[in-house]
Amino acid sequence: GAVVSQHPSWVICKSGTSVKIECRSLDFQATTMFWYRQFPKQSLMLMATSNEGSKATYEQGVEKDKFLINHASLTLSTLTVTSAHPEDSSFYICSAEGAPQILYEQYFGPGTRLTVT
Amino acid sequence: AQKVTQAQTEISVVEKEDVTLDCVYETRDTTYYLFWYKQPPSGELVFLIRRNSFDEQNEISGRYSWNFQKSTSSFNFTITASQVVDSAVYFCALSANNNDMRFGAGTRLTVKP
């Protein structure tokens, strides 16, 4: 149990366009979802935390107008990279926390590789 | 503030050697969890272990073992008789009361045949 999927697994887009990444909890309800970004050969950096039905909380230095996060249901959160630029190219990973809940545990999606040309 | 330090950026060993990956953490919370994840080239994080702050027992799972020492704030990971398939980036992570998971910088392990 506790499977998290992401779609798409990879995407290439042109500079200036917007890209939406979906994160779904397949067999549990995710009350909280997290979005991470990982640059090549670097660690995962938390971008934002979202709770179902409320606004996301962004980490310092993350532009909320550029990285739009929506957590409209207990099984789906979306990250939209608006007006993407080559420096936004990265590996985006989501994670979800919820029932069946093991306290402090997050279940990770497989990641989405974004390349902006 | 929470912080995880993995001082070893890269480690290279020859197959069948034992290797230990170090992890040192900082937190002011008394309740917290420590994790190790493996990230193969495909990118997907593979969960290896979770340990809570009240359980200092060492754990062994096959060729993997973990040593949790609260006195030194360390949670080290040892692979015994390493194999080529163990080659990956390994992350240590810490999650405390705010459920905010912080990752270390990762250690890239290369096991040569």
Q: CB contact, 8 Å: B109 with chain A?
A: no
Question: pLDDT for B18-71, tens place per residue?
Answer: 999 999 999 999 989 999 999 998 888 888 998 989 988 888 889 999 999 999
Q: CB contact, 8 Å: B11 with chain A?
A: no
SS (H, E, C) chain B: CCEEECCCCEEEEECCCCEEECCEEECCCCCCEEEEEEECCCCCCEEEEEEECCCCCCEEECCEEEEEEHHHCEEEEEECCCCHHHCEEEEEEEECCCCCEEECCCEEEEEEC
Please tell me the predicted confidence (pLDDT) of residue A100: 55
Please tell me the predicted confidence (pLDDT) of residue A51: 87
pLDDT-based confidence at residue A104 (cuts at 50, 70, 90): low
Interface contact A110-B44, CB threshold 8 A: yes
Please tell me the predicted confidence (pLDDT) of residue A67: 97
Nearest CA in chain B to A59: B100
Question: pLDDT for A49-82, tens place per residue?
Answer: 998 888 899 988 999 999 999 988 989 999 999 9
Q: CB contact, 8 Å: B105 with chain A?
A: yes
User: Coil, helix or strand for A103?
Assistant: coil
A110 interaction partners in chain B (CB closer than 8 Å)? 42-44
Provide Rg for chain A, Cα atoms: 13
Q: Phi and psi at residue A15, in whole multiples of 5°?
A: -55, 135
Q: Which of B52, B87, B86, B84 is nearest to B68 (CA)?
A: B52
Residue of B72 and A102 predicted with greater confidence: B72
Distances (CA, A) of A108 to B45, B47, B64: 7, 9, 21
Question: pLDDT for B78-97, tens place per residue?
Answer: 999 999 999 999 999 998 86
